[in-house]
Structure 1
Amino acid sequence: MKQNLKYYPNIKTKSFHFDHVHIQWNQQVPLHQQQTWELSYIITGSGIRVIGDVVENFSEGEIILIPPNISHCWSFDKSVHDSHGKIENITIVFENEFLKNCIQIFPELSVAISELQNSENAVSFTGEPLQKLQILLTSMINQNGIERISSFIKILELISYGKEMRIVGRPVIESKKEKKLQKIHLYILSNFQSNITLEEVSKSMGMQKSSFCVFFKRMTGKSFFTYLTEFRIESSCQMLVKTRLSVKEICIASGFNDIPYYNRVFKKIKGTSPGNYRNKHQ
């Protein structure tokens, strides 16, 4: 699983790597894990992400900090994009060695960086820190290398002392069971918009159907299809809020083939209809 800097240029020639991409929704890096820190800003796009042991929806505007050695990936919704049909994000990758060097060169940063180095979980920023980070990261697009160093020192202070944040991922305990569960999550992530049968998913895991069902229920506390249905509903919620697709189109795009059934399940889980949910959250 560890793929240190496989997807980024060698940052030994720079203090850190700054990457601004404007690409098709399906051109993102697959599940990966590296020995570096990663700060990601989703400018345009939404979908579902996996960070360590957490699978959840994400939307534009989010800024996520991922410590070293936590596996992660973003799966973008093909229906959410800009006028060019593309998603856009900014990623900064930096090493622990860079943080150590900063302490030596700038003693004023020692307390802030020590706070950062004690972080084990991936976090999403909120409130005023999020707004300041969005401005700083966006400004770095048109800056030269020296200007970016100045901006990044300000960013280090914000991400180190930021109190307005929530945990969005934790390190996965390296056990066979956890690895297998993560593999199932990735299967769902890649196939939830299509028809998934118990035969297919259990076979892809190299398990008998009965063993698969027992394993999944024991690990999650839910049956596989209960989990899959809830996952599809959460995905449809993102599309209701972030796109102009009709409820019928969203029903199909989130893996449901029957609109009345989708409406019933949605109301059971969310307590309201898809239409009312859209009106309330837009």
Structure 2
Amino acid sequence: MISKSFNSTKLKYYPTTNNNTFHFDHVHIIWNQQVPLHQQQTWELSYIITGSGARIIGDVVENFSRGEIILIPPNIPHCWSFDESVHDEEGKIENITIVIENDFLISCKNLFPELYSSISELQSNENAVSFEGELLEKLQALMASMVHQDSIERLSSFIKLLQLISHCKEMHIVGRPIVENKKEKKLQEIHLFILRNFQGNISLEQISKSVGMQKSSFCVFFKRMTGTSFFTYLTDFRIESSCQMLLKTKLSVAEICIASGFNDIPYYNRVFKKVKNMTPTQYRKSEKVNNEFLFHDSIKN
């Protein structure tokens, strides 16, 4: 099940530190011990080694899975909500986060002309992005190797990271800066309410009351901001969450049905087939076959 560790919609601001040129954080923790919604004035590069769930990055709410590496520019609010049932043999999730001071990047540009274009290209990016393909594999290997390095070795690896990501073309946007206005803040409150409560019954009265709106005003607001109705959005979110559980857990379809917020198995099967053009069982089998094919194909190459 997805974590319900979001105990507040209040945004946390984490102060910068001047003790290190960049901060390397490797954590191996219980699924519900992650940092809540926060933002800071630093760059953040995050690698999910073990775990899956749902995340908020700026104005985007999406599911995530292991293997992803996300680059988040300064001042974009973000948080990860981990699935309780997806973990390693110790019952823990694992990730690596590199936090980079903008002053450090500026200093590198001034001290090392060779890095000027790479860092300038990086700083021109305003959106959070994830990496794909061969570049993702290189970044995974490089970040994993940093776990066992000392501070000098990590600095060398960090420069390699900068070079790799600065001119990257194999990536896609996973979050954008939030315009500081009441509408965007209200929408973010709604997203957080969904993350905390989608596994249970959510009535229109509950969700509208939670953000201080009348039901009719809430429906109009949500449709205008997202382009879809609230319950259509909620259903799609639950289906995508169930897909993660089908692929990442050994839970039965019936258990996943309940864990993703559907109380009726036949209804869940009908909705799933309408969205994915196959049943949950077929989806689980087909995706596993595809993953096995890609795995064996990568070994051959």
The two structures have a TM-score, normalised by structure 2, of 0.90
State how far apart, in whole Å, the 2-side matches of 1:80 and 1:156 are: 31
Say whether residues 1:15 and 2:7 are aligned partners.
no
Whether the 8 Å contact between 2:14 and 2:38 is mirrored in structure 1 is: no
**CA-CA distance at 1:2 after TM superposition:** 6.8
Say whether residues 1:262 and 2:268 are aligned partners.
yes
Say whether residues 1:200 and 2:206 are aligned partners.
yes
Partner residue, 1:96: 102
Partner residue, 1:152: 158
State how far apart, in whole Å, the 2-side matches of 1:22 and 1:197 are: 36
Whether the 8 Å contact between 1:2 and 1:34 is mirrored in structure 2 is: no
Say whether residues 1:112 and 2:118 are aligned partners.
yes
Say whether residues 1:231 and 2:237 are aligned partners.
yes
- Count of residues in correspondence between the two structures: 279
Partner residue, 2:194: 188
Q: Which moved more, 1:47-56 or 1:212-221?
A: 212-221
**CA-CA distance at 1:3 after TM superposition:** 4.5
State how far apart, in whole Å, the 2-side matches of 1:148 and 1:240 are: 37
* Superimposed CA distance per residue, residues 201-245 of structure 1 (whole angstroms, 9 cap, x where no aligned partner): 111111111211121122122221111111100100111111111
**CA-CA distance at 1:5 after TM superposition:** 2.9
State how far apart, in whole Å, the 2-side matches of 1:50 and 1:182 are: 9
Whether the 8 Å contact between 1:2 and 1:69 is mirrored in structure 2 is: no
Say whether residues 1:240 and 2:246 are aligned partners.
yes
Aligned-partner residue type, residue 5 of structure 1:
Y
Whether the 8 Å contact between 2:38 and 2:77 is mirrored in structure 1 is: yes
Partner residue, 1:137: 143
State, as a whole percentage, how many aligned pairs show the same letter: 73
State how far apart, in whole Å, the 1-side matches of 2:191 and 2:12 are: 20
* Superimposed CA distance per residue, residues 117-139 of structure 1 (whole angstroms, 9 cap, x where no aligned partner): 10011100111111111111111
The two structures have a TM-score, normalised by structure 1, of 0.96
Extract unaligned runs of 5+ from structure 2: 1-9, 289-301
* Equivalent of 2:57 in 51, 60, 66: 51
Extract unaligned runs of 5+ from structure 1: none
Whether the 8 Å contact between 2:194 and 2:234 is mirrored in structure 1 is: yes
* Superimposed CA distance per residue, residues 6-41 of structure 1 (whole angstroms, 9 cap, x where no aligned partner): 4xxx53111101000011111111111111100000
Would you identify which runs of 4 or more consecutive aligned residues in structure 1 move more than 6 Å? none
State how far apart, in whole Å, the 2-side matches of 1:201 and 1:112 are: 45
